[in-house]
Every structure is written in C-alpha cells, then in structure tokens.
Amino acid sequence: MDNEIKTEEIKPEIHPYVPQHKPEPEEPSKGSALWDFIKFAAITLAITIPFRMYVAQPFVVSGESMDSTFADGQYLYVDELSYRFEKPIRGEVIIFKFPSNTSRDLIKRVVGLPGETVELKKDSVTIYNKEYPQGLVLDEPYVTHKSESYEAKKTVLADDEYYVLGDNRPVSYDSRGWGPLKAQFIIGRPFVRLLPVSSISLFPGEYTDY
C-alpha cells in the first residue's frame, strides 16, 4: 500500500480590524498665533524697508510743471538704484529733493550736465561743452508748452551740478529760478508709471536722442 501523504491547509490567522483614530490636531493657541504674526511682520519689514530705502519707492506727480509728459496725480515707481552705479544723462527725467526744502520731492528733466555751460535765449536752450564748443541747440520734442521768451542767461555748471527744467516751461519752477541742482539731492528716475492704467510704461518720459 502506497504511503499516503497528507497535507494540511494552513489558514491565516484573522485578526479583527480595529480602526485607529488619529489624534485631532491641536488648535494653535492665541499666543502662538500672535508670535507667528510678529515673525511674519518682522520678515516683511526686513524685506520692504531696505527695498523702499535703497531700490524703489512710490511717487505721485503733483502739479503741471511736467505736462504733458506727466500729468498731475500720476503714480510712479522711482528707481533709486541705477544712479549709484551711473550718472544721469541728458534727457532723463529725475526725482530729487528740492534744495531749498528737502521735505519736498520734485520731478524735472536733465538738460545740462556737470561741467557744461547752459545758455537760455529766446525760446531755445544751447549747450556748450568739449564736444560742442560752438554750442548745441537742443531739440526738445517733449516740450509742448514753450516759453515765448526765456530770460537770456548763461550758467556754468560745476562738476557736481545739473541743470533741470520742467517740460511745461511757462509754469515750471526749476533751475531758471533756483539755480543748478547738486548731485547730492538726486533720488532717482521714474522706473514705471502704474496709474492711470492707460499710461502704464517703463522708464516713462525718457528722451536720450542727443
């Protein structure tokens, strides 16, 4: 008789399923929420304050001295960084501290550069420098409101001085009235015009085709 081999079926042990409950997340305490807010505020200030002080800041145009390039109430952001590495050039629009009252910020256009002589005569502006010893009469397409006649004068600029004028010459109070602008008062140049939306642009108002 053949040996009979028996096999036994091994049944897996079945354990009853016991659902595990995850602990409910604890609600942050009021003290923890306040601390998170303080950290967020500190980080925000640490980023925005240096940005506003050294990189860019908002500026709202006030008055009509730059019509029609810039209108009253337009909202600009001012690039404060570029002039730390380069100097303003003719035709650029700049924002600066008013030398007679540094609590006021003004916006004008650079016409004369350090070391040059600026001559106003009739309705023209003439620049004298090494490149143009006989004089260069500026073409100023950005000036839509010209003075009928400038008071004839010549101004010799020092090595740290600029001659600035408003585009709306009949109403602008500028270097014609209070003299050359020292470089130390320059804040920066308009980087972007945000408002009104229809006038959004980068480096608005610049004209450097001289």
Only one residue has tokens 């354990």, namely 15
Calpha distance 203→186 (Å, rounded): 16
The residue among 88, 102, 57 whose CA lies nearest residue 75 is: 57
Calpha distance 123→25 (Å, rounded): 77
Does the annotation count 108 as an active-site position?
Answer: yes
Asked if residues 80 and 187 have their Cβ atoms less than 8 Å apart, the reply is: yes
Does the annotation count 65 as an active-site position?
Answer: yes
3-state class (DSSP) for residue 204: coil
Calpha distance 61→92 (Å, rounded): 16
Find the DSSP H helices in the chain: 30-54, 175-178
Tokens of 48: 């925005």
Asked if residues 109 and 91 have their Cβ atoms less than 8 Å apart, the reply is: yes
68, 108, 130, 147: the active-site residue: 108
22, 39, 65, 153: the active-site residue: 65
Catalytic residue set: 65, 108
